[in-house]
Structure 1
Amino acid sequence: MIKFGIIGTNWITQQYVDAAHATNEWKLVGVYSRTIEKAKSFGEKNGATKFYDQIEDLANDPEIDAVYIASPNSLHFQQAQQVLAADKAAVVEKPIVANPTEWEELYQTLEAHPKARLFEAARHLHEPNFQAIQKQVGELELVQGATLTYAKYSSRYDSYLAGNEPNIFSLKFAGGALQDLGVYLAYDAVAWFGMPEEVAYFAQKLRTGADGKGVAILRYPEFDVTLNIGKNVNSELASEIYGVKDSIVMDNAAELNQVEYIDAQGQRTVISETPDDNPMIAEARDFARVINDPENEKNATDYQNWLEISRNVNKLLYNLRQNGKIYFTNEKEED
């Protein structure tokens, strides 16, 4: 049983705790929040017995094996560093860090602490329907491009419209549509097609400087992939991957609830399965098997593959931001 702690007490943390407990591989022990009262309020209802208002105390607690980090984006790097340096597993909500420099520093910490493990909680990468698409892409005679859409109105946008600056729309907290919903589409592109040769990001910026929505173009040697991303609009558009006369159609490039392969004759075949009610169960199960048996050949191979995809996704997101001239607070502009 993996005894874990959490940083962050929002809805996504609750979803991960529920998923982790559903696997019967994890047990919540500790909760960090800025106040002990808030940590207790979240933790006691979920079975936790330890509460912290200092991250160092959580990271260095010998009873804790792993820490799930769901704080604002700008805090991920420092908090993950503390967890890894304590020889623990860090499960970090996407996006794992803001830029490739931070990512490589985390990797150096991993190398210095071989017992530690680092996971980016990109949940859909671990789901069967994601892997079914990846398999079907490999069976296409020729890939001629894709259009991937994920646009979902954020409840925090109402606060923005009221004149506030929520974390998710703030450059101080590494926010914006690309850094949130865009991570799902970046994972799709990197895992299914590899790294593009050129990128462009046409961002619709808010008064905070963060992007509320945008369109990214990823240019590969023989095709382009378009990413439609938004946190201030809703979209019901399907996403598609184009073959020659065939295609793969998904209801949503992040949720992946329904996926069909349409052959050259127009025959539709459902290649998806009914997903878990909690979409984070698959990742919690995958992370658990690596933590519990890191020397197993398949587990070790999968872990290294996840790390490499995470590195490339981080690089892709950074390149798109640079092209779109979106710079986080204290981040230098490139010439």
Structure 2
Amino acid sequence: MIKLGVIGTNWITQQFVEAIQTLQEYELTTVYSRKIETAEEFATRNGAKNTVTDLEQFFNSDDFDTVYIASPNSLHFEQAKLAVENGKNVIIEKPAFSNQRQMAQFQEILAAHPEVKFFEAARNIHTANFHAIEKQVNEMDTISGAEFTYSKYSSRYDKVLAGEEPNVFSLKYAGGALQDLGVYTVYDAVTLFGLPDEVAYFPKLVNTGVDGKGTAVLKYVEFVVTLNFSKMSNSEMTSEIAGLKDFIEIDDAGEITEVSYHNDESKRTVIGNKNLDNPMLEEAADFAKVILAPDDVDNQKLYRYWNQLSINVNKVLYNLRQDANIVFVNE
């Protein structure tokens, strides 16, 4: 049984907790929040016994062995570092870290604590529908390019328009569209095609200095992948992976709720439409499998693969920001 503590009480933490509550492998035990009222409300709603407002006390607790971190992006590194140093497995909402320096330091900390596991919660690549995409890509004779789009208007952008600076649109908290919805599209590309040779990013900056939307270009030897993402506009544009006469169509690069393959005779076949009530269920199950059986050879291989993916995605995200000259506070 995995005993879980959580940092963050927002909607995404709630969704992850609801996912683990359908699995026998997890038990939510402890909730951290800066405000005791917030912690107690979340704990009561979700059946946790312990609430903590002091971060050091939280990580010193024996009431949990794994922590799910869904705090603002800029806080991830220090909190994950404390977790590992206190022997806790770490599940971090994407993006795990804000730059390559943090990722490199964290990998060193992990190496010093080999009993601890680290997972970046990029839910899209754990879904059955994404695995259907992977299978079809491997069966296609040629890949000539791809375009991934994920755009959802954020209610927090209303605050930006009103002159405020919410965390997700703040340089101080490592916010912006690339560091949120853009992460899913980068994971799509890097998981399917590996590290690109060159990258370029063309952002639309908002009043707070972060990117509200943008287009990223990843250049590979044989083709180019274009990423479109936005937190200041909606889009229902589909995503595609092009062959020659054939292609894969994806309804949404982040949610991936339906995938179809169009062959060279224009015949459309749905190859992925398995959608669970909670989109975080599959990643939670994958993480549990590795945590509970870390010595299994297949699990070790999976874990190394996911960790390398996280390192690669971190590199691409950082290089894209560098290209667009987006610099976070105290970076």
Which whole-Å CA distance do the structure 2 matches of 1:210 and 1:24 have between them? 41
Kindly provide the CA deviation profile for residues 154-209 of structure 1, in whole angstroms up to 9, marking residues without a partner as x: 01001111110011110000000000000000000000011100000001001111
Does the CA-based 8 Å contact 1:206-1:212 persist in structure 2? Answer: yes
Aligned to 1:268: 268
Out of 157-166 and 54-63, give the one that drifted further: 54-63
Name structure 2 gaps, 5 residues minimum.
none
Does the CA-based 8 Å contact 1:204-1:212 persist in structure 2? Answer: yes
Which whole-Å CA distance do the structure 2 matches of 1:234 and 1:201 have between them? 20
2:190 is the counterpart of 1:178: no
Aligned to 1:195: 195
Does the CA-based 8 Å contact 1:87-1:114 persist in structure 2? Answer: no
Aligned to 1:225: 225
Aligned to 1:213: 213
SS of match in other structure, 2:291: helix
Aligned to 1:44: 44
Aligned to 1:113: 113
Structure 1 position 112, deviation (Å): 0.7
Which whole-Å CA distance do the structure 2 matches of 1:207 and 1:157 have between them? 10
Name structure 1 gaps, 5 residues minimum.
none
Which whole-Å CA distance do the structure 2 matches of 1:37 and 1:233 have between them? 34
Does the CA-based 8 Å contact 2:160-2:208 persist in structure 1? Answer: no
Aligned to 1:130: 130
Aligned to 2:35: 35
AA aligned to 2:89 is A
SS of match in other structure, 2:279: coil
Structure 1 position 139, deviation (Å): 1.0
AA aligned to 2:112 is A
AA aligned to 2:283 is E
Which whole-Å CA distance do the structure 2 matches of 1:57 and 1:2 have between them? 20
Which whole-Å CA distance do the structure 1 matches of 2:115 and 2:59 have between them? 14
Kindly provide the CA deviation profile for residues 11-35 of structure 1, in whole angstroms up to 9, marking residues without a partner as x: 0000000001111211100000002
Which whole-Å CA distance do the structure 2 matches of 1:96 and 1:228 have between them? 21
SS of match in other structure, 2:21: helix
Which whole-Å CA distance do the structure 1 matches of 2:45 and 2:194 have between them? 43
SS of match in other structure, 2:172: helix
Aligned to 1:16: 16
Aligned to 1:73: 73
Which whole-Å CA distance do the structure 2 matches of 1:23 and 1:261 have between them? 32
Structure 1 position 63, deviation (Å): 2.3
AA aligned to 2:37 is E
Which whole-Å CA distance do the structure 1 matches of 2:111 and 2:62 have between them? 21
Kindly provide the CA deviation profile for residues 69-122 of structure 1, in whole angstroms up to 9, marking residues without a partner as x: 000000000000000111110100000000111011111111111111100000
2:301 is the counterpart of 1:301: yes
Out of 56-65 and 214-223, give the one that drifted further: 56-65
Out of 102-111 and 174-183, give the one that drifted further: 102-111
2:150 is the counterpart of 1:150: yes
Does the CA-based 8 Å contact 1:33-1:52 persist in structure 2? Answer: yes
Which whole-Å CA distance do the structure 2 matches of 1:130 and 1:329 have between them? 35
Which whole-Å CA distance do the structure 2 matches of 1:136 and 1:246 have between them? 11
AA aligned to 1:268 is R
| TM-score, L = length of structure 2 | 0.99
After TM superposition, the structure 1 = structure 2 runs for residues 160-179 of structure 1, keeping only pairs within 5 Å, are 160-179=160-179
Kindly provide the CA deviation profile for residues 127-154 of structure 1, in whole angstroms up to 9, marking residues without a partner as x: 1111110111111111000011001000
AA aligned to 1:147 is E
Structure 1 position 274, deviation (Å): 2.1
Which whole-Å CA distance do the structure 1 matches of 2:199 and 2:114 have between them? 35
Aligned to 1:243: 243
Which whole-Å CA distance do the structure 1 matches of 2:88 and 2:10 have between them? 22
Does the CA-based 8 Å contact 2:30-2:63 persist in structure 1? Answer: no
Kindly provide the CA deviation profile for residues 275-297 of structure 1, in whole angstroms up to 9, marking residues without a partner as x: 11100000110111111000011
AA aligned to 1:237 is M
Which whole-Å CA distance do the structure 1 matches of 2:20 and 2:306 have between them? 19
Structure 1 position 273, deviation (Å): 3.0
Kindly provide the CA deviation profile for residues 222-272 of structure 1, in whole angstroms up to 9, marking residues without a partner as x: 100000010000001000000011000000011110100000000111110
SS of match in other structure, 2:196: coil
SS of match in other structure, 2:9: coil
SS of match in other structure, 1:222: coil
